[in-house]
Homo-oligomer: A and B are copies of this chain.
Amino acid sequence: MRSAVAAVPDDVHAAFVKTLLSSDQIVVAGRGRSGMVGAAFARRLGQMGLRAWGLDDSTVPRLGAGDALVACTGSGTTPTVLSLMDTARSGDARVLAVTLKPAVADLRADVTVELDVPAGSNIFPLGTLFEASLLAYLDQVVVDLIDALGATESELGARHTNLE
């Protein structure tokens, strides 16, 4: 998983982080386990003080110019995620895609991160390695966002919900 993260080209990674930093509202979308990992990423974004939502959150906003959709799809073919990417683009929101390398097709995203996960010949079923790599990649994005924002762990902790 670490190697999948390390293999993301620096300029692609920098563009991913920079787009998030310059976005007013961020929605993280995926279906199934990718969506669950995406929600975990949204949670950290909120703890950093960014305005973020998971796709299935109650108060997910309209995305438009100045906003960003993070679309997580290992297969690159999840129909509802592709539909949401179209909608976001129509509203002039930026689209950041995270998918498996090599991407099955041009996802027409502003930034496409391809995670280099070995396919087949592993003991983990279905998209397990993609999802684990997705979590590792997005957690690295969190580290770089914290660094760029000059945030501290105690600031994040202070925003961590007490409603648990």
- Report A's interface with B, CB cutoff 8 A: 1, 27-29, 31-33, 36-37, 39-40, 42-47, 52-63, 69, 78-81, 83-84, 86-88, 90-91, 123-126, 128, 131-132, 135-136, 139, 142-143, 146, 153, 156-164
Q: Given the complex of chains A and B, what is the CA–CA distance between A161 and B14 in angstroms?
A: 28
Which of B43, B159, B163 is within 8 Å of A87, CB to CB? B163
The copy count of this chain in the complex is 4
Could you tell me the distance in whole angstroms from the C-beta of A154 to the nearest C-beta in chain B? 9
Complex interface: chain B residues within 8 A of A61 (CB): 46, 159, 161
Docked-complex contact A143 and B124, CB < 8 angstroms: yes
Q: Is the interface of A mostly helix, strand, loop or mixed?
A: helix
18 additional contacts (CB under 8 A) given A125-B153, A126-B153: A36-B40, A46-B59, A53-B59, A54-B58, A57-B57, A57-B58, A60-B161, A60-B163, A62-B158, A62-B163, A63-B163, A80-B164, A84-B163, A125-B142, A125-B156, A125-B157, A132-B136, A132-B139
